[in-house]
Amino acid sequence: MKSNTVYGEGSPGVAELVPRDDDIIVIEHAYKSFGKTQALVDASLRVKRGEVCLIFGPSGGGKSTLLRCINRLENPDSGTIIVDGIPVTGDKCNIDLVRAEVGMVFQLFNLFPHLTVLRNVTIAQEKVRGRSNKEAERIARELLERVGIPEKADAYPGQLSGGQKQRVAIARALAMNPKIMLFDEPTSALDAEMIKEVLDVMLDLAKEGMTMVVVSHEMGFAKAAADCMVFIDGGRVIEEGTPEEIFSNPKEDRTKLFLSQILE
């Protein structure tokens, strides 16, 4: 049986978890609590290969926690998460191998301040992918060109604006040739005029068919690029649907209320 070989023994609910082939991320019944706060309550989510999925909802609702469970920056208390066929919640999973395939962009950029922009983009390529310095630099320069800041290769992160930092962070993640990109509120820490330059890069990525899971309130980006939208509140997935469904005809009252508040 296929599920046994893929998921290993002892994963809960293996039988019901046979994914369709195009599901690259499967989250089933994830629970997570920090002390007494319930961050995730029975959260389930499926993302297809090549899909752009936007997660939105009030702050403290568990959006980021759900995203961070995908590359196990948070370990769910229970539930099963499968990324590209590998159950990351399993004991035998080598999480470093999965993380190399899953790029992540953080709200506060998290660039390495002691390294130049170029080195920020090359270091993981060399240490994790085992590329030569020359090859890593070639790839890094290409990517910096693509995100529009080739001239900043030798600068340090401290000398960049917020938008430039976030674009370097995207280049750093892309340098690993990830199959999935996770964005954790990538524009929330940016000034209004810098949001566009980051969103433009993300739109390009979406057009190229990258699988993306984005936690964001950028509804313009959702309309332009998202294939599915997920509304999360109180740690639960309240509603899921295409942007058309969510914007024109939300089923749940909480979704309606939230959308009316942020779309004012």
189 binds another protein (CB under 8 A): no
Nearest approach, Cβ of 120 to another protein (angstroms)?
A: 9
Which residue, 91 or 96, is less far from another protein as judged by CB?
A: 96
Q: Is 228 in the site for another protein (CB under 8 A)?
A: no
**CB under 8 A: which stretch of 22-30, 127-135, 193-201, 232-240 binds another protein?**
127-135
SS3 of 25, please? Answer: strand
Q: Which residue number, 103 or 243, has a Cβ lying nearer to another protein?
A: 103
- The single-letter DSSP state of residue 43 is E
The Cα 32–Cα 246 span in angstroms is: 26
Among 13, 113, 209, 220, binds another protein (CB under 8 A): 113
The closest alpha carbon to 109, from 29, 36, 172, belongs to 172
Residue 148 dihedral angles phi and psi, to the nearest 5° = 90, 15
DSSP secondary structure string for all residues of 66-132 = HHHHHTTSS--SEEEEEETTEETTSTT--HHHHHHHEEEE-TT----TTS-HHHHHHHHHHHTS---
Instruction: Single out the segment in contact with another protein by CB under 8 A; choices: 38-46, 111-119, 144-152, 242-250.
Output: 111-119
Among 32, 63, 167, 172, binds another protein (CB under 8 A): 172
Q: Between residues 124 and 149, which has the closer beta carbon with respect to another protein?
A: 124
Of positions 25, 124, 140, 226, contacts another protein by CB under 8 A? 124
DSSP state of 237: E
Q: How many CB atoms lie within 10 A of CB 20?
A: 8
Among 110, 116, 161, 188, binds another protein (CB under 8 A): 110
Q: Using CB under 8 A as the criterion, which residues of the chain lie in contact with another protein when the complex forms? A: 71, 73, 96-97, 99-104, 106, 108, 110-114, 123-124, 127-129, 169, 172-173, 176
